[in-house]
């Protein structure tokens, strides 16, 4: 009799377990929590987690909790593939988020396409497949985008420069960065600039001095760099060490805000798609409060990128309703407007053709020593994406 009771109890418990699992939206994340590039990706994943912990506490989306399963792929392609498979088959994830190096893209894309699940790139560089004409299942919220970034930077230099521009470039010796700088070098003459130096710097370089010297000796008065943050900042600091007095503009990665405050140099500009926390918008305060309550490991200034990813997921799941399926979710995402509450210059809009955004918004910031604070150089500038 006791045995029967126990057995029935066990069966019911297991059924309840699966029932619970089926009662929530399952979102899978495969990202670099450790390993190469983790400094860029781990904060994104933490932000997404914090966001949904808060949402779940408030009752979830459409009355259902969001079950976030995050696996560490250490930017390793085979691990990324295996993890993605597991998230899709075992955890029945509706959507997968990629937040790691581009070497993990192809393996993950194979898995998600095969399962018919949407793949969202959050925090990792947007692959060409999300731009028009977009691949049906690939989406990207990441703030930086090839070619549009350089167009913005060069446009800014044009309106900010007070004399003829002799422009130097700095990139990291990885395909994405090199490609973008090559593009910028091509565009520069069209803006009336004279390209004088282009340094492609291998990642594990101990001393940026030799590279900086070449840029300085070539006579550059403006420098543009589009690369992982370390390359950008070390180029700049090496230039300044050697007494270079020009101005530099670089892409504002997640740690840009802290770095501007650290370097405190009036001639160092960053441009980006996320509003910096010094603006003190309500959304910033919301993020700060959530981070404090959750005991975040990363500085709050690095959480904006991940927050946008979470907002996108939230908007998509909300619109999909319940019950959800991969097809329904993908269809919703093909026509979605994500309200970023001021974190971005405007809403992120996806259409059937464009899974990047219909308009790319940018803002430029720099340190102002007179005010002892970070200031924004202009209002939001937008570029249509087509």
Among 169, 298, 356, 365, binds other proteins (CB under 8 A): 298
Min separation Cβ 276 and other proteins, Å: 17
Min separation Cβ 79 and other proteins, Å: 14
**Would you say 114 or 264 has its CB closer to other proteins?**
264
Is 150 near other proteins (CB under 8 A)?
A: no
Min separation Cβ 347 and other proteins, Å: 29
Is 219 near other proteins (CB under 8 A)?
A: no
Min separation Cβ 28 and other proteins, Å: 21
Nearest Cα to Cα of residue 303 among 282, 284, 279: 284
**Would you say 67 or 259 has its CB closer to other proteins?**
259
Is 304 near other proteins (CB under 8 A)?
A: no
Round to whole Å and give the CA distance between 316 and 335. Answer: 9
Phi, psi (degrees; rounded to nearest 5) at 26: -100, 120
Among 159, 207, 372, 386, binds other proteins (CB under 8 A): 207
Is 182 near other proteins (CB under 8 A)?
A: no
Q: Which residues of 85-108 are buried (b: 16+ CB within 10 A; e: fewer)?
A: bbbbeeebbbbbbbbbbbebbebb
Nearest Cα to Cα of residue 96 among 122, 76, 63: 122
Min separation Cβ 105 and other proteins, Å: 20
- Residues between 251 and 290 with contacts to other proteins, criterion CB under 8 A: 255, 262
Is 302 near other proteins (CB under 8 A)?
A: yes
Among 2, 163, 175, 297, binds other proteins (CB under 8 A): 297
- Residues between 43 and 62 with contacts to other proteins, criterion CB under 8 A: 43
Is 200 near other proteins (CB under 8 A)?
A: yes
Dihedral sign for Cα atoms in the order 188, 193, 196, 199: negative
Is 103 near other proteins (CB under 8 A)?
A: no
**Would you say 242 or 382 has its CB closer to other proteins?**
242
Cα–Cα distances (Å) from 326 to 16, 167, 170, 321, 355, in that order, read 24, 47, 42, 12, 16
Binding site for other proteins (CB under 8 A): 34-36, 38-39, 42-43, 173, 199-211, 213-214, 229-230, 233-234, 237, 240-243, 255, 262, 297-298, 302
């Amino acid at each position: 009799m006791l045995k029967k009771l126990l057995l029935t109890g066990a069966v019911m418990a297991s059924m309840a377990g699966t029932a619970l699992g089926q009662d929530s939206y399952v979102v899978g994340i495969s990202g670099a929590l450790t390993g190469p590039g983790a400094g860029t990706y781990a904060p994104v994943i933490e932000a997404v987690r914090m966001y949904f912990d808060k949402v779940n506490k408030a009752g979830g989306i459409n009355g259902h909790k969001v079950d976030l399963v995050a696996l560490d792929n250490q930017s390793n392609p085979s691990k990324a593939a295996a993890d993605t498979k597991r998230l899709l088959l075992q955890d029945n994830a509706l959507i997968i988020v990629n937040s790691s190096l581009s070497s993990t893209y192809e393996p993950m894309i194979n898995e998600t396409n095969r399962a018919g699940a949407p793949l969202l790139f959050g925090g990792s560089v947007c692959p060409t497949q999300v731009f028009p004409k977009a691949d049906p299942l690939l989406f990207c919220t990441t703030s930086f985008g090839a070619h549009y970034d350089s167009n913005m930077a060069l446009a800014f230099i044009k309106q900010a420069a007070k004399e003829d521009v002799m422009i130097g470039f700095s990139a990291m010796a990885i395909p994405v960065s090199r490609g973008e700088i090559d593009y910028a070098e091509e565009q520069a003459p069209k803006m009336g600039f004279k390209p004088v130096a282009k340094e492609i710097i291998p990642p594990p370089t101990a001393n940026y001095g030799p590279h900086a010297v070449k840029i300085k000796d070539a006579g550059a008065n403006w420098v543009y760099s589009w690369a992982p943050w370390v390359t950008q900042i070390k180029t700049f600091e090496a230039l300044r060490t050697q007494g270079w007095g020009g101005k530099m503009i670089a892409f504002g990665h997640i740690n840009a805000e802290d770095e501007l405050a650290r370097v405190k140099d009036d001639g160092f500009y960053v441009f980006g798609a996320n509003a910096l926390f010094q603006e003190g918008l309500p959304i910033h305060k919301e993020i700060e409060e959530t981070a404090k309550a959750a005991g975040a490991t990363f500085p709050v200034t690095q959480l904006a990128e991940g927050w946008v990813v979470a907002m996108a997921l939230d908007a998509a799941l909300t619109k999909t309703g319940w019950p959800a399926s991969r097809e329904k979710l993908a269809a919703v995402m093909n026509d979605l407007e994500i309200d970023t509450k001021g974190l971005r210059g405007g809403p992120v809009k996806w259409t059937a053709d464009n899974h990047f955004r219909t308009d790319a918004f940018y803002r430029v910031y720099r340190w102002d020593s007179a005010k002892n604070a970070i200031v924004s150089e202009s209002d939001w500038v937008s570029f249509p994406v087509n």
